[in-house]
Amino acid sequence: MPEMLLAKLVKKEKLNSDIFKFSVEAPSIVKTSKPGNFIEIRVSDQVEPFLRRPISIYNMDRENGILEFIFQVKGKGTKILAQREVGDNIDIIGPLGYGTFKYEQYKNLAIIGGGIGVFPLYELAKCAKKDEKKVNIYLGYRSKDFVVLEEEFKQVSDNFILTTDDGSYSQKGYAIQFLEKDIDEGKVDAIFACGPLPMLKAVQKLANEKSIPCQISLEEKMACGLGVCLGCAVKTTKSSKEAPEYLHVCKAGPVFNSKDVEI
């Protein structure tokens, strides 16, 4: 069950000009969290902004009860959050999301992410590596300026590929090109993805064509995070014009079997 708590900020890091990593004391959340879960954060004690911000869990230090999350400053809420300092308490609800990454039955995992969508994939890769799975990681960024967490992901992978759209760093191209090559060579038996919608659509299409099991983590605007406001609906593949069917990302997800949702 999700818990609400005031989590003390014990470490604050700036990864680049607008991306921050926060480490907070949240042992009760860490104890029950799984790869793919997220949290909802109240960014201010003031009336505005009223709604909490959904943020993926990046890493869980279970031994010390430390939860880490990473966010990009995009609007008023995240700008306020970025101003918090070590020692401050942060109002958090979590862990949220019943749909999490399920990798246990597979041996050769392909973990693919793009941009800020790479953040929730680290805990998955770390846990899979610990469970002696073969972890193949494919990360795509627009350019060198946007690259983050390269060394962290390298440490939890057996095979690591990093691409930039413009070729300004590492390999030029798209991460999915390298994933497709490894699928064709029989190196992958399941795909796990998070990132921009165009990338997820391409991954979903590739998984269907190659008949590879695929799980995708979706990002939607989630006001409540509990399935109450119904604002994060995604259409299922069972839908028809006469009988549309929807699932809610915050409750049924954020991780879905790619065959179950229309994106």
pLDDT tens sequence across 178-236: 999 999 999 999 999 999 999 999 999 999 999 999 999 998 666 666 666 767 888 88
Burial class (CB in 10 A: 0-12, 13-18, 19+), 211: exposed
Name the amino acid, one letter, at 44: S
- DSSP 8-class letter at 82: T
Tokens encoding 175:
């991460």
Task: Read off the DSSP letter of residue 252.
Answer: H
* Between residues 205 and 247, the one the model is more confident about: 205
Q: In the chain, pLDDT over 90 holds for what percent of residues? A: 81
pLDDT tens-digit series, residues 104-136: 999 999 999 999 999 999 999 999 999 999 999
Tracing tokens 């990009």 back to the chain, one arrives at 72
Residue 10 identity (one-letter amino acid):
V
Distance in angstroms (rounded) separating the CA atoms of residues 43 and 59: 20
pLDDT at 82: 96
Question: 76-90 as b/e, with b when 16 or more CB fall inside 10 Å?
Answer: ebbebbbebeeeeeb
What is the layout of strands, in order, in the sheet containing 190-194? 171-172, 159-164, 134-141, 108-114, 190-194, 214-217, 255-257
pLDDT of residue 47: 60
pLDDT at 77 over 70: yes
Residue type at position 108: N
Place of tokens 């099991």: 213
Element (H, E) at 97: none
Residue with tokens 């191209």: 173
What confidence tier does 92 reach under pLDDT thresholds 50, 70, 90?
very high
CA–CA distance, 192 with 120 (Å, rounded to integer): 11
**What is the model's pTM?**
0.94
Q: For 8-58, write each residue's pLDDT tens digit.
A: 999 999 999 999 999 999 999 999 999 999 999 999 877 677 788 899 999
